[in-house]
Each structure stands twice: as structure tokens, then as C-alpha cells.
A and B are shown apart, each in its own frame.
Chain A
């Protein structure tokens, strides 16, 4: 039995977060009433002409540069011709022979996969990027949800003309997990750049895959199958796993494969044939005569490059080096730019990066997850959380009291100091004040005193507990220990 190897390339579409569309001034806002963000240009009315949105070009350049691409000084928009009701011009304006950027790469973690809680540095694998190009999105066909949906379809053209970049990888991916990692990294980078919200459910991140299998060690590629409808990270992985198994099974049965496009069917958990090569579209690409060539000067490129933010990879590295975080923690805290920014602010305010990491990852993210919220919607500001952690470090409150304070902070608005003052939660670090409590507890527990003096060290915990109870947890634990030892011995 031959050993098989999968060969995968991904085509990822990312919607750019420009305020207006790529060829007109209409808003790109998602979720508005159908056909309200439209004009002659994005409706494809007779006589209307496109004008390229420079902000879209810059965002595409940012993405391309972050993906280590070479920006072409001269590129062209091109028409991709096909008929569909949600494509108002009868062609998509894309790029073909001369794309905006080429020859990039992306490093993904090797076979061990992502999110490993290990201290060892990840094995990095380089996935080549063929190209990054600009194009406009089509509108949306709505086939159900209407009383007459059995007979009619509806079209919403609000999305028509939303700027997209298409990022095409080389066939360098070898497993569904690697594809998953690649897409994860790609999304992370786009989020860090702020060029897209990468929301797969709303379609601002879309992925198609080209998959083939070949005997391990073979030079030639097998028959390429395109798999579409991969609307989530999970579906991507599931569809690729299914498709690779299907292809291997077919070949091991002595069958052959034909080049085709297949759709992932979530309900049936399998890919289904959509169209074979003979029915493949001939898109009849040709240079878009309504737009001038896209010229990117060296100065422009440098200006965009200079404005690039620190990317997740670099930031993770820095978190480890600068804050002494474990790889796993650095990974969690750099999942998005707002989270990483939040963490850095907490760390800065409290001066204890490790404690800050524990609080952000544990208590804060836990609370946010439970509330179904994103870091940007946190009711606790990074400043306040930082102060809370600092108060623990300074001994003003205990870690246990801090949890209570944090619970109250979630309600929003109040600083930890305000809560501590209002609730009387400040730690008692005054030896004379505590000494009185210690004396009372010892006096009230003659039996335990006897046990302790007989060498039973565990009883110390009983005394600590009694003192905490008496002070409602406010006693400084270190001081309590010190005083107990002094009075008991």
C-alpha cells in the first residue's frame, strides 16, 4: 500500500474595511436594509464608470507587505467575465496577468500544531504565497426566507463593490491541520493590520481550497480538485480531511479522478461535485479599459511599509523576551491586536508582566467568554485592571480579596480603589491592629494551641483561617504567619 501525501493550496478572500466601496463612494456597512448602499457605479448602470479607491489599494499593500510579498510597480485591473444576477456589471473587476503583489510567504507552526502549552519554540514552516490581488465583491443572492422563495430569488447589491483582496498560496500545504494553521495565521495578521474584521460568518473572510493527493515522494501533482463553501475554520479542516480520504480511497480502488469543483456540504459532512472541467467557466480576462494601470511608486510603498504595525509573530517574540512570558501565554495574548494592546497596558500599569498575563488570560478572558464578549467590549479598562494587580503586589489587598474586587469591577466604571474603600476591603498590614486579633484567636483556641505546641504544624492553617474569618479576609497573610509564630512559640 502506497503512502499518500496531500497537496493543498488555499485561495483566501478578505474583505477590506474601507469606509467606501472600491470603485464608488457608497458605504460598505454590513447589515443595512437591502439595496440602500448603492449608486449607478455599483449597480452597473449603463454609462457608469469605476474610480479606484486609494484607501483600498493601501490596505491591500499593507496586507501584501505583511505577507512578505513584492509589490509590483505596475499592475493592472482586469475584467473577469461571467453572468450571475448578483454581478451587476456582468464582470468582476479583478486582477489577472499583472497583480498588485507576488512572491510572498507566511510562516506557520510545524507538525505539532498550534496552541501547544509547551516551552519549546515552534518548528516553523514556510508557505509560499503566489499573489495578492485586488478585486470587487459581488452582491448577494438570497434564495430563501421569502414567501415565494420556491420560485424566485432576490438580490441585495449592498455588498456589490466592497473591496476584496484575494490571497493565493502556493501548493505548499500538506495537511488539513497545516491549512488550518495557515488560515489562523493569515487571519491574525489581517486583524493586526486592521485591514479586515475577518468575520467568516459575515463573509469578510472566505476560503476555497485546491486539493490533490500523490504517492509520497512523487514529483508530479495529482488531479486537482477545488473545494468551495468552506465557511469556517472547522469546515475547512473537516472538508479537507474528507476530501483527502475520498481521493485516496478512489485511487486505491484503482479509480481515477477528474478535475472538478466540489462543494462542502455541512449537513452530509462530505464534498459533492458541482462542475467538472468541461463546464468550467472561461472568464475571458482582459485588461479593464475603464481604469488606468495601477502604479505604486517606491515612495508610496515605503510610506505604507513604515506605517505597518508590529505583527503577531514579532509581538509574540517580544512578549517572551521582554516580559518573560511562556510561549503559550504569549500566543494567547497576541491572538488579536486589541488583546495584545490591552495586556501591554495592564502590564505597564502594574509593573508585573507575569501577574498581568495571569489576570488577563484567566479572570478577564474567562469573564468575557462567559458573557460572550470580545476584549474590545470589556467593562474593565486595562488601566483599572492594572491598578488592581498593582495593589496586590503592593500588599494593599490579598489575591483573594482582589478576586472579589474584580467581580465588582465587572459591573463597570469603578476603580479598584473606590471599590476597596467603599467595601472596606483594604488589607490589614498594621501589626498592632492584627496582633489584637491574633491574641483573641489564640485565647479562644486552647486545644489547638496545645496541639501546635505538641508539634502538629498543620494546625497553623486553622489559626490562619480563624484570623481571616475574623478580618473578613483582609489580614495580610505574611504578617499573620509572622505574628502567629511569634505568639504561639
Chain B
């Protein structure tokens, strides 16, 4: 069947009508993805056996006319920082080149239980550290819209896989924009739920207080469908929330969700200042006009602590990373330096970690170690926590007057491979519009809102208050549907 633009609803229709089988679809997707992968390197590993076993289970259900689970037969790609039982999980790092997890992440388990068919693991920045998917130990991912450009990062492989129809939906992880920014670079939908909405159990930790698992889809509805399956309390993750999960899809299907009458949309001045590519600014502004056309009440708002967010974010995420990555020491699993044979324990640690981690990971471990050190903790980590609280307060105050906030996702469209690799600070600035929501723990979604003159996709970010994913999804889908007409 036609893979281009394939959605969850079409897969379901095709299975129910007998147009295809889950096994046939999985085979077709795998063959196509393996071929495309030579061009864009979106996948690190394919999982044909696991996919086929799952597809056959679905086909059995179809044959027996059993009610099909919500994601029956839907080909899914999983970012390689999310563990999959028996399926190599490298985090795009040399240090885990040989690591095969003995358990599944909760999100993966829930999606498979809902019928999803995992076709493989996607490439990304090493341990999700990066904004371009160039920091992979297994070669960068290329943007399917322009192979000379990056797909964004760190979940670039998942975004590219969805954009290139190498799967229908994908999982990514978002710590400071790692789902939303690649979604905008590749022209797909990427969603980060409220912190605690989706269990992190099985997400290899980068910065625990900021990490999220979230979905990519070609439509808002598909992203919402994955969220609905994954969301909800998980006893294995103490930070997962016991807040009930609303029926996101049912809410999107309500007739009144098609417009935004009575909806208050905030536009923060701080997100349209210096540094924003004019074409991106134009597209987002005209998208805001489209929202107004849907009946939304557009309001100017202020988020005054935005300027401090980047520094605050990088201090916190690096501090947590320095601790989270301490376990990769070559003692129990992963790759141990072959030189260890003749080395002392400490020298063996140095050799293993020196050879196993890439430069960006090392940079973050070192900076993170520094900001937590005796004598520096107060000046950096503690202060960053205070700033984080102020950024969060900015949002809670703003959400008193608006239902959602709309901003650009990234200052520019996809940049060229190698363009920013020599300048970490410039690379870090590509997260400037996404990290504030990460710090505040609020949900955000990136929806395509057009392209620049060169045809590169541009994304619009919609944010909502904690656990108000329904408002965020409604605005995103109303916007998406208004463009399709």
C-alpha cells in the first residue's frame, strides 16, 4: 500500500478492509526503510523478527475478527535511548555498542500491548545530547527534506523516519527540545507531554528532571493517539503522575474542537526578538493570524525570565548528566576498553570512558561535574534551580490569562551538516525556544506551519499548562486542519 502520508487511521482501515495485512505492511515498511536508510541513516538497527512476530499476532486477531487494539499493526520506530528487551540499545554511543537490555521501557510495553509494530531503533545524538543528530557514534542522520541538512536533534532519526515514511509513528525523547525541534526541521508533528505524563522507566537517563518520552506523527491525531496509550501512572517511575488520562482522541473528535472560538492564545514578545530568522518569524506570525481566523483571541503576553533559561537549562541538564552517565564504566555491561587488561582500576575507567564517549558527552560530563563541585554548587546548581522556579512561575502567571502559548520552535529552519558542530554555544542556542517549557515541566507540541523560500519546513510550538494536553492538542489540530482545507 501507499506508505507516503500513511497514518494510524489508514493502517486500521486497510487491516479491517483486508487491503493489507499487518505482516505485509511490516514487511513493506521494513524493506522501504532499509533502502531509505542508506540515504538518511535514520535507523541504527532494524527489528524484523520482533516486527513480524507482533504483526502475526495482529493478523491473527484480524482473522478471528477480534476487536483490534488502538495501534494494531502500526509500524513504530523507537529512538535508541529507549530500552527494548533483546534488541540492542546503544544510545548512539560507542560505550553501549554491544548492549542488549533485558527489559522493555514502560512506554514501549504499552505501545506494543496496544498493537504497535516496532520496526527498529532510530539514530540520534549520543545519549540525546545535541540539537542536530550529528553527535552519533554511528554517523549523522540526514534530513529527508534536504540530505545536506541536519534533521535536528537529538531525536533526529525518529523525526526523519516519520518524515520519510520509514514508519508511521515514532518515539523520541525530549529534554530541552529534542522532539519538538527535529519535528519542526523535518516537517512532522512532535509532542512532549507534561513532565510525569509518560513514564520514564526504560528511557536511558540524560537529565532526569527534564527527560520525557514523546511521540512523532504525521498528524496531531497520530501523536495524540500514542500519547493516549503511553500516558498514565507507572509504579516503576516515582515521578510519573497519578493524574487521570483524558481521552485525547475523543476530545479531538468533538465537533466544537474544529475551531478555536473563545480560545485564548498568548504570544510572548520574548520569543520574537533578535536571533529569530525573519522567514521563520513571518511564518509563525501568519500562523497566528490563522489561529485568529479560527476564532482564537490572540493576546500579547510576557515571559520575563526567558533570557536566563538557556544558562539555567544547561547547568541543570549537565549536572544531572554527569551523575546519570557515571554508570557507564565498563564494569558490568557495555564496552570496556581493551587496554584495561594491563591497567589499574582508575586507569581502566579513564580508558573506557575516554574511548567510549564522544566529545559532546564528555564536555557535558565535565561541565556538569564542575557545577556540582564543592564550592561551586551554590553559584551554579542551586542558583539554576532558583531560576528554574522563576521560569516556571512566568508560565503559571501567563496561563492565568491564556489557554495556550504560541511560539516558534527553533530560531532557524534545518541548518547544514557541520554548520554548528565547531561552536557548541551556537548549537545550544537552537534550543532557545524549547527549553523553557522543559524547565517548567509543561507540555509542548511542534506542528508544521509552512516552509521557507528554499522549501525547508518550519514549525510552530504550542504550549499549555501542566496536564492541559487537551487544549494544546485542540489548538494544534484545529490549526493543522485549517491548513488542509
CA distance A88 to B101 in the complex (A): 15
* Cβ proximity bits A32-66 to B, threshold 8 Å, 1 near / 0 not: 00000000100111111111100000000000000
Classify chain B: how many residues form its interface, as a range: 35 or more
Which of A52, A83, A155 has the largest number of chain B CB atoms within 10 A?
Answer: A83
Is B431 engaged at the interface, CB distance under 8 Å to the other chain?
no
The complex places the Cα of A51 from the Cα of B238 at a distance, in Å, of 6
A49 contacts B237, C-beta separation under 8 Å: yes
Stretch of A167-175, A187-195, A210-218, A285-293 with 4 or more beta carbons under 8 angstroms from chain B:
A285-293
Shortest distance between the CB of B355 and any CB in chain A (Å): 16
| A285 and B319 alpha carbons, distance in the complex (Å) | 10
Taking a contact as CB atoms under 8 Å apart, the answer to whether B323 and A48 are in contact is no
The verdict on A413 contacting chain B, using a C-beta distance below 8 Å, is no
Given A51-B235, A51-B238, A91-B323: A282 in contact with B373 (beta carbons within 8 A): yes
Residues of chain A within 8 A (CB-CB) of B322 are: 81, 284
Which of the residues A46, A50, A155, A285 comes within 8 Å of B204, measured between beta carbons?
A: A46
Are A85 and B345 in contact, with the CB atoms below 8 A?
Answer: yes
A282 nearest in chain B by CB position: B374
Q: Contact at B326–A91, with CB atoms within 8 Å?
A: yes
A40-B102 contact given A89-B327, A91-B326, CB 8 Å threshold: yes
B1 within 8 A of A: no
- Chain A contact surface mostly: loop
A46 near B372 with CB under 8 A, answer no
A203 at the B interface (CB under 8 A): no
Q: A40 contacts which chain B residues (CB < 8 A)?
A: 101-103
CB–CB B201/A290 < 8 A: no
Once the chains are docked, how many angstroms separate the CA of A294 from the CA of B485?
52
Question: Which residues of B have CB within 8 Å of A52?
Answer: 238
Cβ of B314 under 8 Å from chain A: no
User: Is A79 an interface position by the 8 A CB rule?
Assistant: yes
Chain A residues numbered 146-189 whose CB sits less than 8 Å from any CB in chain B: 155
Closest to A80 in B: B323
A412 at the interface (CB under 8 A from B): no
Partner of B200, one of A49, A51, A88, A91: A49
Per the bound structure, the CA–CA distance linking A46 and B101 in Å amounts to 8
Residues of B contacting A83 in the complex (Cβ-Cβ under 8 angstroms) = 326, 329, 346, 349
Cβ 8 A contact of B320, one of A47, A89, A289: A289
Instruction: Name the CB-closest residue of A to B353.
Output: A83
Is the Cβ of A46 less than 8 Å from the Cβ of B236?
no
Q: Cα distance A43–B207 when bound, in Å?
A: 20
Does the CB pair B96–A89 fall under 8 Å? no
Query: Given A81-B323, A91-B323, A284-B373, are A46 and B345 also a contact pair (CB < 8 Å)?
Result: no
Q: A47-B82, A83-B349 are in contact. Are A90 and B323 (CB under 8 A)?
A: yes
**A282–chain B nearest beta-carbon distance, Å:** 5
Q: How far is the CA of A289 from the CA of B373 in the complex (A)?
A: 17
Q: Which residue of B is nearest A51, CB measured?
A: B238
Tell me which residues across on chain B come within 8 A of A284, comparing CB atoms. 322-323, 369, 372-374, 377
- Complex Cα gap A48–B381 (Å): 24
Q: How far is the CA of A88 from the CA of B373 in the complex (A)?
A: 21
Q: A290 contacts which chain B residues (CB < 8 A)?
A: 205, 208, 238-239
Shortest beta-carbon distance, A285 to chain B, in Å? Answer: 8
Interface centre among A40, A43, A50 (most CB of B within 10 A): A40
Chain A residues with CB under 8 A of B377:
284, 286
Whether A289 contacts B83 by the Cβ 8 Å rule is no
Check A46–B320 contact: CB distance below 8 A.
Answer: no
Interface assignment of B209: CB less than 8 Å from any CB of chain A: yes
Q: In residues 253-302 of chain A, which contact B (Cβ within 8 Å)?
A: 282, 284-286, 289-292
- Chain A min CB distance to B212 (Å): 13
- A449, chain B: closest CB distance, angstroms: 90
Cα of A146 to Cα of B349 in the assembled complex, Å: 23
Tell me, in angstroms, the Cα distance from A81 to B381 when the chains sit together: 15
User: Are the CB atoms of B323 and A47 closer together than 8 Å?
Assistant: no
- Complex: how many Å from CA A327 to CA B79? 70
**Measured between C-beta atoms, what is the minimum distance from B198 to chain A in Å?**
13
| Cα distance A43–B101 in the bound complex, in angstroms | 12
- Which of B91, B96, B105, B236 has the most chain A CB atoms inside 10 A of its CB? B236
Complex contact A79–B323 (CB within 8 A)? yes
B105: nearest residue on chain A (CB-CB)? A47
Question: Cβ of B203 < 8 Å from any Cβ of A?
Answer: yes
Contacting B239 at CB < 8 Å: which of A79, A91, A285, A292? A292
Give the chain B neighbours of A46 by CB distance below 8 A.
83, 89, 91, 96, 99, 101, 204-205, 327
Q: Mark A79-102, 1 if CB is under 8 A from B, else 0.
A: 101010100111100000000000
Q: Compute how far the CA of A17 lies from the CA of B32 in the bound complex, rounded to whole angstroms.
A: 56
Q: Which of B224-239 contact A (CB under 8 A)?
A: 235-239
B residues less than 8 Å from A81 (CB atoms): 322-323, 326, 372
Q: Which residue of A lies closest to B207 (CB)?
A: A289
Is A49 within 8 A of B236, CB to CB?
A: yes
Q: By the criterion CB–CB under 8 Å, are B327 and A88 in contact?
A: yes
Among residues of B, the one whose C-beta sits closest to the C-beta of A292 is B238
Contact A289 B331, beta carbon cutoff 8 Å: no
Contact between chains at A286 and B208 (CB < 8 Å): no
10 A-B pairs with least C-beta separation: A90-B326, A284-B372, A289-B208, A289-B209, A47-B202, A46-B204, A47-B83, A90-B327, A85-B331, A44-B327
28 A-B residue pairings within 8 Å (CB atoms): A44-B327, A45-B101, A45-B102, A46-B83, A46-B91, A46-B101, A46-B205, A47-B205, A48-B103, A48-B202, A49-B239, A51-B235, A51-B236, A52-B238, A79-B323, A83-B326, A83-B346, A83-B349, A85-B329, A85-B345, A90-B326, A284-B372, A284-B377, A285-B372, A286-B320, A289-B208, A290-B208, A291-B238
* Chain A interface residues toward B at CB < 8 A: 40, 43-52, 79, 81, 83, 85, 88-91, 155, 282, 284-286, 289-292
A79-B323, A155-B331, A286-B381 given. 20 additional CB < 8 A pairs? A40-B102, A43-B332, A45-B101, A45-B333, A46-B89, A46-B91, A46-B96, A47-B82, A49-B238, A50-B238, A51-B238, A81-B322, A81-B372, A83-B346, A88-B327, A89-B326, A90-B329, A289-B239, A289-B320, A290-B238
